Amino acid sequence: MYHISVLTGRQDEDDFGERLRDIARVEYCPEADEDVMADRLEDADVIICKSERISGSLLDRLDDLKLIVILSTRYDNVDLDGAARNGVLVVNNMSYCVDDIADHTCAMILALIRQLPEYLTDINVNSRWEYGSVAWPIHRVSSNLIGLVGFGHIGRAVASRMQAFGCSIQAYDPFVSEDIMNAHHVRPVDMDQLLETSDVVSLHMPLNETTRYIFQDEQFEQMKQGAMFVNCCRGGLADEAALYHAVDDGHIRSAALDVLSMEHPSPMLLKMIARPEFLLTPNVSFHSVEADKQVRDDAETYIRRFFEGRRDELPIVVKDTY
What distance in Å separates the CA atoms of residue 251 and residue 261, rounded to the nearest whole number?
22
Angle at alpha carbon of residue 267, lines to 261 and 268, rounded to 5°: 50
Residues 6+ apart with CB under 8 A from 319: 80, 81
Q: How does DSSP classify residue 13?
A: G
What distance in Å separates the CA atoms of residue 241 and residue 246, rounded to the nearest whole number?
9
In the chain, DSSP finds a helix count (H) and a strand count (E) of 13, 12
pLDDT of residue 76: 85
Residue 165, Cβ density class (10 Å: 0-12 exposed, 13-18 middle, ≥19 buried): middle
pLDDT of residue 146: 98
pLDDT of residue 13: 57
* 283, amino acid identity: N
Say what angle helices 98-113 and 153-164 make with each other, to 10 degrees. Answer: 50
Identify whether the C-beta of residue 188 lies closer than 8 Å to the C-beta of residue 182. yes
pLDDT of residue 321: 45
Residues 6+ apart with CB under 8 A from 306: 46, 66, 67, 89, 314
What distance in Å separates the CA atoms of residue 294 and residue 276, rounded to the nearest whole number?
36
Identify whether the C-beta of residue 170 lies closer than 8 Å to the C-beta of residue 145. yes
Domains annotated on the chain, with CATH: 2-96+289-313 (3.40.50.720), 98-280 (3.40.50.720)
The order of strands in the sheet holding 200-203 is: 187-188, 168-172, 145-149, 200-203, 227-231, 252-257, 278-280
pLDDT of residue 111: 98
Q: Mapping DSSP to helix (H, G, I), strand (E, B) and coil, where does residue 166 land?
A: coil
Number of alpha carbons in the 13 Å side-chain half-sphere of residue 315: 18
* 81, amino acid identity: D
* 310, amino acid identity: R
pLDDT of residue 31: 85
Average pLDDT per block of 10 residues along the chain, 322 residues long: 85 76 92 93 95 95 97 90 96 92 98 96 93 90 98 97 98 97 98 98 92 96 98 95 97 97 84 95 93 94 97 86 46
